[in-house]
Chain A
Amino acid sequence: MVRFEGIGLRYGMGPEVLRDITFSIEPRSFQYLTGPSGAGKTTLLKLMLLSLKPTRGLINLFGHDVTRRQNDALSAARQRMGVVFQDFRLLDHLTVYENVSLPLRVKGRDEASYRSEVIELLRWVGLGERMHSIPPVLSGGEKQRAAIARALIVKPELLLADEPTGNVDPTLARRLLRLFMELQRLGTAVVIATHDLNLMDQNDARRLVLADGYLHVDG
Chain B
Amino acid sequence: MLTAERVLRRVRGALHRAGARCGRLWQAVRQGAMSGARLAAGQNPAMPEIPGLPSGLKREQPLIPVDSTASRALVAVIAILTFLAALAGGAAHMVAIASSDWRSAISNEMTVQIKPDPRRNIEDDIARAARVFRGAPGVAEVRIVPRAESDRLLEPWLGAGLQLAELPVPRLLVVTSSRSSRPDVEALRQSLRREAPTASLDDHRLWVGRLSTMANTLILAGIAVVLLVTLAAGLAVAFATRGAMAGSHDSVEVLHLVGANDAFIAREFQGRFLKLGLEGGAIGGLSALVVTVVLGWISLSWSSGPGADQLKALFGAFEIGWTGYLIVIGIAALVALIAGLVSRLTVQRHLRQMA
Contacts and interface: CB of A to CB of B under 8 A. Distances in A.
A78 B57 CA distance: 28
Nearest to B258: A103
Nearest to A151: B258
B65 interface: yes
B256 interface: yes
Contact of B260 (A51, A75, A132): A75
Interface string A91-125: 11111011001110111000100011001000000
A79 B259 contact: yes
Size bin of chain A's contact surface: 20 to 34
Nearest to B251: A91
A10 interface: no
A95 B61 CA distance: 9
Interface string B32-59: 0000000000000000001011101111
A95 B257 contact: no
B53 A119 contact: yes
Contacts of B352: 71
A98 B61 contact: yes
Contact of B63 (A49, A75, A90, A91): A91
Interface in A40-87: 49, 51, 70-72, 75-76, 78-79, 81, 83, 85
A7 interface: no
A3 to B, nearest CB: 21
A95 B52 contact: no
B54 A132 contact: yes
A57 B262 CA distance: 26
Contacts of B70: none
Given A97-B59, A119-B52, A71 B255 contact: no
Nearest to B264: A106
A115 B53 contact: yes
A105 to B, nearest CB: 7
Interface string B247-282: 000110111111111111000000000000000000
A71 B257 contact: no
B234 to A, nearest CB: 25
B255 A51 contact: no
A178 interface: no
A83 B355 CA distance: 20
B60 interface: yes
Nearest to B52: A119
B351 interface: yes
Given A71-B261, A72-B263, A131 B256 contact: no
A150 interface: yes
Contact of A132 (B56, B256, B262): B56
A89 B256 contact: no
Contacts of B59: 95, 97-98, 101, 111
A71 B350 CA distance: 13
A132 B57 contact: yes
A118 B351 CA distance: 30
Contacts of A93: 61, 65-66, 251
Given A89-B254, A95-B58, A98-B58, A72 B261 contact: yes
B19 to A, nearest CB: 40
B58 A106 contact: no
A102 B50 contact: no
A97 B42 CA distance: 15
Contact of B256 (A51, A81, A115): A51
Contacts of A92: 65
A83 B253 CA distance: 13
B63 to A, nearest CB: 7
A83 to B, nearest CB: 6
Given A70-B355, A105-B63, A89 B257 contact: yes
Contacts of A95: 57-59, 61
Given A51-B256, A92-B65, A106-B259, 7 more contacts: A72-B263, A76-B259, A97-B59, A106-B255, A107-B259, A115-B52, A132-B58
Interface of A: 49, 51, 70-72, 75-76, 78-79, 81, 83, 85, 89-95, 97-98, 101-103, 105-107, 111, 115-116, 119, 131-132, 150
19 contacts: A51-B253, A51-B256, A71-B352, A75-B259, A75-B260, A75-B264, A76-B259, A78-B256, A90-B254, A91-B65, A91-B250, A93-B66, A102-B254, A102-B255, A111-B59, A115-B53, A132-B54, A132-B56, A132-B57
Interface of B: 50, 52-54, 56-61, 63, 65-66, 250-251, 253-264, 351-352, 355
